[in-house]
Structure 1
Amino acid sequence: MDISIHRKAIIIFIVILLGGCTWKLQREPAHPESAQPVLPGEYFITHHLMTNQGMIRTSFSKQHIYLSESLGLWMDYLVRKKDQPSFDQQLDVLHTQFLLDHDLLSWKIESNQTSKVNALVDDLRVVAALQKADQLWQNSAYQTTAKDIAQALKDKNMFKGILTDYYDASAKQTSHTITLSYIDPKAIKELVSLQIFTNQMLNSQLAILQNAPRQKGFFPTSYDIEKKAYSFNQEINLIDQLYTAFYAEYAQVDTSAIMKWLKTNFQEEGKLYGRYELSTLQPAVTYESPSVYALVILYALKQNEQDFAKDVYHRMKGLQIQDPLKPYYGGYMNEKDTHSFDNLLPLIAERELLNESVIQ
């Protein structure tokens, strides 16, 4: 018994020591008062998904895949945490690994092959993070990079005055479709502040959200710019819907029906599922998603539903490995694997709850 207790004490000490080392490596902020402790999810990402070069693996697969999505989410987290040294490391990763010759980001790097296709949503997220970083730390490199990406979006990633899903540099083709969950008004407003977009161009993007038809309160998945037609999927992908609803709030669109549905389902079931049938609003899958819960939290905070956000947070944390003795402490695991998205989004949500003093 004494040996077992002694062993556990040593393991806990090692975990704390490792966490402290990570904190020292990552936290030498320009403003000491902004220092924040390392959250369990951050510990998991830096110890199990991040390479020595600062790139975040998508999963534990032997075939390493790196996404601009992970880069942008991590940069978003770091500005919320006010962690300039780590942010600057990611700026270097952005320039050396993801930024293509025409200043858009490769959406995927796999087997050392860099895709020549970008993803609008990821590029916008990076621009927004760079602009936040510039406001925090006044480093001209942030805004210069943001402006280069913004200009490339205007030059390459638009069709008939509307931002589209992607630009394929190999084929020199621009998508003619925009996924509604890609239309981030706050990020697009940064294109205006950078003097790349006009207010009229901004309004054209917002109109896609503002004019979208609804089915049972839910948004279409995409808009065909050529055909001027919206498309619905037969299944409600809650991640897409939550992103769209969150962004629509910034476009002055009423999304109260979705919030009411979320609260009712969560209160009745004690959980939310990843997908639902549009026709019946019944679950189409049996799994819960930490990313869904993270987006519900951010959406609820936007709607000043702090109690709901807190309840969902506790459900989300129940999916996380919180035992420091477990090998993947801090991770959101799917059996023996994980996905960067399902760790980064919950981390952002948890940091935002802390920033707004909803949790301590």
Structure 2
Amino acid sequence: MTRHFYTQLIIIMSTVFLLVGCRKELKVSVPKNDSASFSTEKKVTKNPDEKRLQNFIETKMVQKKGIYTNYRNYPPQKEVATGHEMLSESSGLWLEHLARTHQNRKFVDFYQRTKKSFDLGAQFSYRLNPSTNKKSKVNATLDDLRIIRALQMYAQNTGSKKYRREAAKRFALLQTTSIQKDRVLNFYDVSSKKRSNEGSLSYYDLLTLRYFESTSKAGEKDYQKQVKLIENGYLGDIFPLYYSSYNWSTKQYSNSDLNTSEALVTLLHLSEVHKMKSTSLDWLKMQVDDQHLYNRYSISGVVQDRNQAAANYALAAMIFANQNDQDYYKKAINLALKGQVKDKNSKIYGAIGDLKTNDAYSFNNLLTLVASEY
């Protein structure tokens, strides 16, 4: 094959074949229609708290190669990203912010930087050490889907055929690694060529999956199976959340404790496709009313970690926004912003963080910023 192999799309619904590696051809199907769910009105930040937060992230966290995991730097650790290491998760959230606020030039620039920093060819690395340029050979499928969603948002906002194709291509590439028909797996290792056997339920970004799988009957069937897998993971009306993951080898859901942020991402994805149960919504309202949205629960609903995170309330705010519940949206977003540093002499002025230690994590800050734009 030559570099002239690539053909130009002439109509919106089209199929092209791209060279993958040197041996395989990749079929890329571009959805025919826009999805209203990806279109966003231009958001103008007027609230002083939101302005302070955006300014902190843009001036203190966003860097040439990505976004700091934490404003406060720590020596690199093997198990988790810390300090000034960077995550594709953070870059995806920043891209969503830029798309929601229609900062089109900044979006294009930051996406190109994201590709340079994290691209592994068929997927994005989940983690980068910017000081050594060493990136993990493993992805986190939810992070890939978040970037793909942001690309589609930008494409619809601007009418860009180029970015519409880019979003479809990235999804098709992901289907060669960590999305296998109806299975959304946690990761794929490009070095060992091995896939995870587990799929976190929070990784099933149903809105994005539904859109890009709509180009064929087989894809539509895969989507229905994906929805069913989530719905069958419901823990029950007493504790109306969902199991954390499903193992495709054992054919069983995990009995592990629930990380609340991940559990709420599962609810968020369900709310976006109108599949959220009223029992789950009622439970979430109760936690927001009591200001007790703790960080970890057992599958029976027993609190395992009484710490709380701004990200939990930001996710709750997004869910309430999807339910058109403005009262609870305001309650939740105000609780997310409760930990904002307002001391102008602080290095992390405007951040959601710890005034004493200068810890300010990208996940809390970015999710709260995005939630404020709903």
- Relative to the length of structure 2, the TM-score reads 0.78
Residue from 27, 37, 44 that aligns with 1:36? 44
Post-superposition offset of 1:162: 1.3
Distance 2:161 2:234 in 1: 42
Match in the other structure for 2:57: 45
Post-superposition offset of 1:199: 1.1
Matched, 1:256 2:264: no
Residue from 316, 333, 342 that aligns with 2:353? 333
Match in the other structure for 1:120: 141
Gaps of 5+ in 2: 1-40, 76-83
Once the two structures are superposed, residues 60-89 of structure 1 have per-residue CA deviations (whole angstroms, 9 ceiling, x without a partner) of: 215531111001111111111111121111
Q: Is the 8 A contact 1:294 1:349 kept in 2?
A: yes
Distance 2:366 2:217 in 1: 29
Q: Is the 8 A contact 1:181 1:240 kept in 2?
A: yes
Distance 1:203 1:45 in 2: 38
Distance 2:43 2:270 in 1: 33
Match in the other structure for 1:70: 90
Q: Is the 8 A contact 1:271 1:315 kept in 2?
A: no
Match in the other structure for 1:207: 228
Match in the other structure for 1:228: 251
Distance 1:199-1:278 versus aligned 2 partners, 3 A rule: closer
SS state of the match for residue 90, structure 2?
A: helix
Gaps of 5+ in 1: 1-32, 353-360
Q: Is the 8 A contact 1:55 1:93 kept in 2?
A: yes
Matched, 1:106 2:122: no
Distance 2:297 2:226 in 1: 28
Distance 1:117-1:74 versus aligned 2 partners, 3 A rule: same
Distance 1:211-1:42 versus aligned 2 partners, 3 A rule: same
Distance 1:125 1:302 in 2: 17
Q: Is the 8 A contact 2:243 2:258 kept in 1?
A: no
Identity %: 27
Q: Is the 8 A contact 1:179 1:223 kept in 2?
A: yes
Amino acid paired to 2:119: L
Post-superposition offset of 1:324: 3.9
What is the RMSD computed on CA atoms of the aligned residues? 2.3
Amino acid paired to 1:294: A
Distance 2:90 2:216 in 1: 27
Q: Is the 8 A contact 1:119 1:165 kept in 2?
A: yes
Distance 1:140 1:248 in 2: 29
Distance 1:237 1:301 in 2: 22
Post-superposition offset of 1:134: 0.5
The structure carrying a bigger helix percent of its residues is 1
Matched, 1:272 2:293: yes
Distance 1:174-1:133 versus aligned 2 partners, 3 A rule: same
Match in the other structure for 1:311: 331
Task: Map 1:155-304 to 2 at 5 A.
Answer: 155-159=176-180, 161-192=182-213, 198-215=219-236, 216-233=239-256, 235-267=257-289, 269-279=290-300, 281-304=301-324
Q: Is the 8 A contact 1:159 1:174 kept in 2?
A: no
Structure 1 runs (4+) deviating above 4 angstroms are 193-197
Post-superposition offset of 1:283: 3.5
Distance 1:200 1:160 in 2: 9
Q: Is the 8 A contact 1:237 1:275 kept in 2?
A: yes
Distance 1:62-1:270 versus aligned 2 partners, 3 A rule: closer
Q: Is the 8 A contact 1:159 1:175 kept in 2?
A: no
Distance 1:194-1:329 versus aligned 2 partners, 3 A rule: farther
